[in-house]
Chains A and B, each alone.
Chain A
Amino acid sequence: MAETPDTDKLVRREADAPALDPITSRSTSAILLVSALLLTGVLIWSLYDEVYGMRPWKGYQQSYAKRFDRYLKRLQKRGFKSEEEVRKSDEYLRLDAEARAAREQARPKQSEIDGQVKLIDAQLTAISDEFQNRRGRITVASYNVETAADKNKPNLRHNVEQMKAQKSVVYIPTDAEAAHKEKKELTFNELESKYLSLKDEKGRLLGEKGELVKPASDLEKQRDDYLKNNVTEVTEQQVRLLRASAENFDFGMKQINVKGEMIVDRCESCHLGIRSPITIRPADMMPAGRGRRSRPDMLARAFASHPDTELLRIHDPEKFGCSSCHWGNGRATTSIEKGHGENRFWIHPLFAKENAEAGCNQCHSNDRVLQGATTLNQGKDLFYQRGCVGCHRYEGFDRETDALTNTRQLVKQLQDEVTANEHDAKVARADSAAPGVSDERAAQLLARAEALIVTNSQIEARIDQLNTQSRFLMQDQKKVGPNLKDARLKLRKEWIPEWLKDPQAFRPGTKMPTFWYLSGKPDASMGNIVPVSQQDDERKAIAAYIWQSSFDGQLPAQQPGDAKHGEELFKTRGCLACHSIGEGDQKIGGEFAANLTKVGQKENYNYVVRWVHNPRERWAPYCPKEKRDLTPEDYRKNGKEFVFDTTKHTRCPNDGAELQVQNMTVMPNFRLSDADARDIATYLVSLTPPAEYPDASFMDNTALASKGKNLIKQYGCAGCHEISGFEEEQRIGKELTAEGATPLERLDFARMTRLAEEGEQPNSANQEDKQGSGGKEGSGTKEGKQAKPWYNHKGFFEHKLADPGIYDSGKEKDPREHLRMPKPFLKEEWKTALTTLLLGSVGPDGANVPAALFYEPNNQQKDIQDGWWVVKKYNCMGCHSVQVGQKSVLYGLPQYQQGGTFGDIQLGPEQLPPGLMTEGARVDPNWLLRFLCDPSLSNGNKECVSLGGNVGGAAGTPGAATTETGQGRGDMSNRQSGPGDGGAQPHTGAGQTQTGVNQSQSGSLVMGGLKPQPGENRNGVRTYLRVRMPTFNFSPNELRTLARFFLAVSAQQEPYIKQELEPLSDSERDLARSLFTSQAAPCLKCHMTGDATHDQTATAPNFLQAGQRLKQDWTFRWLLDPQRIMPGTAMPSQLFKRDGERWVFNGPLPPSAADYQGDHARLLVRYLLSLTPEEQARARSTVPARAPAPSGTQAGHVASHRQGGGEPRTPAARAAQSVSRLFARRARRIQISSRARPLRWRAREARWRQSALSKRWRQSAAAARGRARDFSP
């Protein structure tokens, strides 16, 4: 029914109104207005953008120009005090006067020359135009001759001749003012010769002038240099120049463009002061007026100069740009955020200030220690020390294990090659003998067979080398954690599961990370992915496996020791350089190794004694070939003694494979006597009361153990620990070498993505759940800056380090697949350091630096870096300061401060181990090798004796013998110097001898006993130190690396060729001796002589070693100014003064010095380095004779001194010495037996004995001297 009604048709349409004229009826003005407004708006916008919006740096630059100018004005107003001072100083005035005088002196002659030159110039001007015109014309004419047809040539030549002969008129001035002129008519040739001679004359005069003013200008330069070198602040001239240039400040884009490397950096458009020639601190660039006292604003901070100008000098920004190191978007200039690359899609965002050193790692990733990059270095230290390397491969770290794997593989390949070659040779020989082979062919085949055999012998030599290498590598291979094969011998059984539950609770700050999934506590933040019951089960299973898989045996029981003496030893021998003791505020010592406060609660005393005595002593050797620990049975079977050590007995009795014969610990051997080891152990064990732990009988359940084995594999325990069955275990973590280059979307933020993007802290969300407040001080954030997105690499690493399971939270997953990384103990700055390392770990492909600019260390630089691995590995810097400016751990301990004591013992800075900054320049590298191998220098280790080259080889020569005797006595003094040494212990005397006998008799049969200690209780060089240089058992590889390191650090040549020592004439020796014993420099007052009484107060090494040990040039420099080499040393400076070209002794000179024209310091060096025991004795005998006669009892003392100093070298005398040493040893034993008696008694007794002893000793020494006199001519 929808048809149209008919009626419609009937409706009449109204007449159309006339259409409106669009031109008149409509207006477009609204549109136009809008458009116009828009256009104006856009114009304004574009103008704004042109001036400000897109170019924010324009405003900054104006600001900079103003602030900088104001700063310079301020500097000018402040005056240049230090410059004024220098200008007034005597030296400056002297130089200035000399320079002026020289200038003055040269002036008359100079002005004469100037006048002559002026005349010549005038004459030259007069003729040069004419000459040059004519020369031009003649050249043209000559050219025409050359190009003309032959027939025309003579004619043209004639023309040329004519031209030359033509005379021209010149007016040559006869005085410089050209007042008088002389008219001359000259041919071209005359003109030419005149011109040339004038030129020559001018050159000669100018040269003469240069010679003439040279002294003056040299002096002026000296004066200006003096000013420059002595003014400590900016100079007036500098500021003036800067202000002048600042006035014409060039507003505009500042750009570094290195075309070849595609570096375009415009950072300096805003950071204008970065390369300022004068240092600009943020405070210098504060806005004027208001807020002067407030902190520098953003611009002030941006305008400051680079904090490290030295760094910029090495890395010239014109070559490296800025963004290579700092990252960020070097081309962006429209906003700070863009310029800094703080944009999701920019892959190289600017490193945060605290992580700035990450940039260094791009090129310096192979450097173990990078000068100046403190945070990065710390990151590397931590990565190694805190055991990250146990699970994560990182190229360069854990080098021994990597190298060992490679070596073994290579050996295998080479062995296969040998077999193949053998086979081929056999085939070749067989072929040659086959019928129908031509003679020629047969000869070829035989030659081939021969070549193969010879090749094989070469390969075998290589295999031998590799096998030796693998032994060394095995010796150097260390683990971060202790050897768990010793668990049964060492630990209390019940303690193990407790420890696994929460290591931080037992020992705060320990390296052992918290395996939160073993703690038996629900962890809501990780969504309780691992149920509590499963955590308990797993912990028990792991404990069971460790317990059951470890060595089973009985340690010989040790007598208790003296805890007080143990404490003294612990705190003075150097243990605190690595270990700390005490908890909380009481904590003292280094952080390299464990805190030992609670050792007694976990460890077996007998084991501690054995460990302290020699930590490297392994219970049983491990055979990598058979993949098991050998037993005494293996040895017995092969008819060998159960002996294994790092030198001779390193091979498996079954198959000859190289064995692991040491505990894989970096802890060195302190060469402690048995009694001392017991004392220290007693002390450590006594620190805490015994503890009770819940029953742990489940640990004997074998079924549990096999489950534990799987878990140990899963959690990667073997990364840090040696565990039976896991010796060849691979790392379980991700390789981190290029972790920083991982694309952001591949870092799995998982359910944290949203929080990260919004800048919320995950734990704050949790806290809100619980308490509804307190989100601000979330432990993850330091600044408390809220809503800063952390969806970037830095955020990922920081949160992962703070809470390794964080990216599991809120996930639904199988408990067996949870993230396995345990939670390490990390301080805030450690997290920053590790984050810095990770951010900088980008690999060569991820680096923002062009590959051409990567750091490629040369030979010595490489030696240094190789050395750092060893230095860091063994924590040499705990005791020594190896690097300029670095302080050792011991240095910071209160007992080594000025006047520091430990109990009654005087310590103080003199008792600190020597600094090693110039070690390579100081000591003979051969000697160093020997010393590092055996720091006791006792000749007890055969392999070390042979190391020292000429030193060891000369065992029979006087030099070597003296060293030994020197040490013999040094050793004694060492013993005596420790008042507690051989202290109070009742029955050690007997016990000790008994166990000693036991050991020597049964030898290998008793497992775990204390073995004899070569070089026991000896310090090699500085026997007066209580701190002891321990034996590190370096492999020859590491010894070489260290020696090269020290050489390279001091830029010494290698191999070392010893400088010949010029022998002393008799008169020279007399003079040297009188200097040596001079009242002004009584060397022997502080330096050891080998005489026990004297050496009690000695604080410097024995000169008898100097000849082998020291280098001449270093010794010379040391004598001149020791403070320059080792600031704070006990050795005084200014012993010599400058006298023209030579150094003269700075004190009363003996008459004989008048005839000596040589250098006194050099003479003394020669004397010291060639000092013999007789000469030393002679020198000593002269000293007290000079002093005023002492009264009464003291005379006796002096006498004994003098006699004690005699170190005769004749056989008879040596015998006498050995007798005296015997006495001393007996005295020691007596002291030991007297330990138990009350202190006063002991003291009295000791005094009595000493006097008796010294009397006896004096007698025998006197007798010896008598005999010695008979021997000597």
Chain B
Amino acid sequence: MHSNRARFLVALFAALCLLAFAVACSKSADDEADGTDAGGDDSAEVATLTPYKPSGQEGSITGTISFTGAAPAPKPISMDADPFCASASPDAHAEDIVVNGDKLANVLVYIKDGKAGDKNIASLKFDPPAEAAKLDQHGCHYVPHVQGVQVNQQFDIVNSDQTAHNVNVDAKQNEKFNQGQSPGAAAITKQFKRAETVIPIKCNQHPWMRAYVGVLPHPFFAVTDKDGHFEIKGVPPGTYTVVAWHEKYQQGQTQTITVGASEKKETTFSFSSQQLTAEYADGGVLRMLPALEMPMLGEHH
């Protein structure tokens, strides 16, 4: 009978083991992980940006942008529709392509992405500069024609003309607005909350008036002057994708540039007139359109 009792005990033991096993198995991943996690968990999905601190080793990117091929003659603008404009800028020309010799002005050069040391530049946080960026309506032109601003930087639009303008900002990622500004009216003050290259601005009353504002999350951008020269200052050492954007070359040009410690890196971009005509002819990228686009009501992603 001994053997039987032993067998029974073994069976009971086995059963208990089974039970224990079942209980153990049911302990979920949530429990075990919770202990390790309970301390400092700074949200899994919210990307936190590290504030950027200059190290003193900053370099810069400088260069010139040249234009090859025959530069198109600047198109004269007829400002007859508004007598003020006609008198203020008697000999006005379009600013879409400003070429001086073989140098191209009004090109926005900016760092698109890349790594500053071991940190991705997108993971760094740059405070907006204290001084405001300014867009002036002067002589029925926007001054400056092309500029870069930083995210959340104050952006003042002033009208120094003796005629009314309206500022139609056709942003895609930022809030769009269209406000009239009469002579002497107070400055319109805005901020762009998101990076967006490049936002076109126009005046519907003076259709030739166009300006372009590139909104960038960092201060590493510059616009070429009339000699096609630019300088991006204070660039932390690293390897970057640098884009040169021009209103007639919406795709822009891209280069990968490595900046060493305190290095003044020289580079050049070149736009050609041939490319221009090609882009003109296509009217940009052609693509097939869906019959209809309707956003889903309250879709959250």
Binding site for B on A (CB under 8 A): 27, 29-30, 33, 36-37, 40-41, 44, 47-48, 51-52, 59, 62-63, 66-67, 70, 73-74, 77-78, 279, 281, 283-284, 286-290, 292-293, 307-311, 371-372, 374, 377-378, 381, 385, 580, 582, 585-592, 877-878, 883, 885-887, 889, 892-895, 897-902, 906, 909-910, 1078-1082, 1085-1086, 1094, 1097, 1099, 1122-1123, 1127-1135, 1146-1148, 1184, 1187-1191, 1194, 1197-1198
Contacts and interface: CB of A to CB of B under 8 A. Distances in A.
Given A30-B4, A1085-B81, A590 B291 contact: yes
Contacts of A311: 297-298
Interface in B22-41: 22, 26, 28-34, 36-37, 41
A1085 B289 contact: no
B80 A1082 contact: no
Contacts of A1187: 82-84, 163
B182 A1079 contact: yes
Contacts of A588: 286-289
B283 A1081 contact: no
Given A52-B22, A62-B30, A585-B286, 6 more contacts: A33-B4, A292-B44, A590-B289, A897-B284, A1188-B87, A1191-B87
Nearest to A279: B300
A902 B283 contact: yes
A1123 B184 contact: no
A901 B283 contact: yes
11 contacts: A59-B26, A63-B30, A66-B31, A70-B37, A309-B298, A590-B291, A877-B292, A898-B170, A1080-B180, A1135-B180, A1194-B86
Given A894-B284, A1187-B163, A1147 B182 contact: yes
Contacts of B12: 40
Contacts of A1188: 83-84, 87, 162
Interface in B2-28: 4, 7-8, 11-12, 15, 18-19, 22, 26, 28
B163 A287 contact: no
Given A44-B18, A892-B289, A1197-B80, A374 B41 contact: no
Given A36-B8, A70-B41, A1081-B164, A1194 B83 contact: yes
B278 interface: no
A47 B26 CA distance: 13
Interface string B124-164: 00000000000000000000000000000000000000111
Contact of B202 (A894, A898, A1097, A1135): A898
A1146 B284 CA distance: 40
A265 B210 CA distance: 59
A1059 to B, nearest CB: 27
A591 B289 CA distance: 8
Nearest to A1191: B87
A1191 B288 contact: no
B276 interface: no
Contacts of A894: 283-286
Contacts of A909: 170
B179 to A, nearest CB: 5
Nearest to B19: A44
A1131 B295 contact: no
B46 A78 contact: yes
Nearest to B79: A1194
Q: Top 5 closest A-B pairs, CB basis?
A: A1080-B182, A289-B33, A372-B297, A1132-B166, A1132-B180
A240 B100 CA distance: 64
Interface string B51-94: 00000000000000000000000000000111110110010000
A231 to B, nearest CB: 17
A1129 B22 contact: no
Identify the interface centre among B37, B87, B288: most chain A CB within 10 Å of its CB.
B288
B178 A1123 contact: yes
A52 B297 contact: no
Given A287-B29, A1130-B168, A1190-B87, A70 B179 contact: no
Given A37-B11, A288-B41, A289-B33, A1128 B176 contact: yes
Contacts of B163: 1079, 1082, 1187
B182 A1081 contact: yes
Nearest to A1097: B81
Nearest to A44: B19
B294 A883 contact: yes
Contact of B179 (A30, A289, A1132): A1132
Contact of A41 (B15, B26, B31): B15
A524 B287 CA distance: 36
A1197 B86 CA distance: 11
B238 to A, nearest CB: 24
A288 B8 contact: no
Given A1148-B182, A1188-B83, A1132 B168 contact: yes
Contact of B43 (A27, A74, A1086): A74
B42 interface: yes
A1205 to B, nearest CB: 13
Contact of A906 (B4, B87, B207): B207
Contacts of B274: none
Contact of A582 (B29, B176, B286, B297): B286
B299 interface: yes
Contact of A591 (B4, B184, B291, B296): B291
A1080 B164 contact: yes
A1197 B4 CA distance: 120
Contacts of A290: 29, 33
Contacts of B49: none
Contact of A1194 (B8, B43, B80): B80
Given A48-B22, A70-B41, A283-B45, A885 B210 contact: no
Nearest to A582: B286
B204 interface: yes
Given A898-B202, A1188-B83, A1148 B30 contact: no
B183 interface: yes
Contacts of B36: 288-289
A1190 B83 contact: yes
Identify the interface centre among B31, B34, B247, B283: most chain A CB within 10 Å of its CB.
B283
Contact of A898 (B7, B31, B200): B200
A461 to B, nearest CB: 43
A1011 B166 CA distance: 46
B149 to A, nearest CB: 18
B170 A1128 contact: yes
Contact of B42 (A44, A77, A883, A885): A77
B205 interface: yes
Given A44-B19, A1085-B81, A1130-B168, A899 B210 contact: yes
A902 B286 CA distance: 13
Contacts of B299: 307-308
A1097 B207 contact: yes
Nearest to B184: A1148
A1078 B15 CA distance: 94
Interface string B206-221: 0100100000000000
Nearest to A372: B297
Contact of A1079 (B164, B200, B287): B164
Nearest to A1085: B205
A1099 B203 CA distance: 12
A878 B296 CA distance: 19
Contacts of A1127: 176
Contact of A592 (B182, B247, B288, B291): B291
Identify the interface centre among B37, B44, B46, B81: most chain A CB within 10 Å of its CB.
B44
A66 B87 contact: no
Given A33-B7, A44-B22, A287 B30 contact: yes
Contacts of A592: 291
Contacts of A1081: 164, 180, 182
Given A66-B30, A290-B33, A310 B180 contact: no
A1187 B280 CA distance: 37
Given A44-B15, A283-B44, A1130-B204, A288 B34 contact: yes
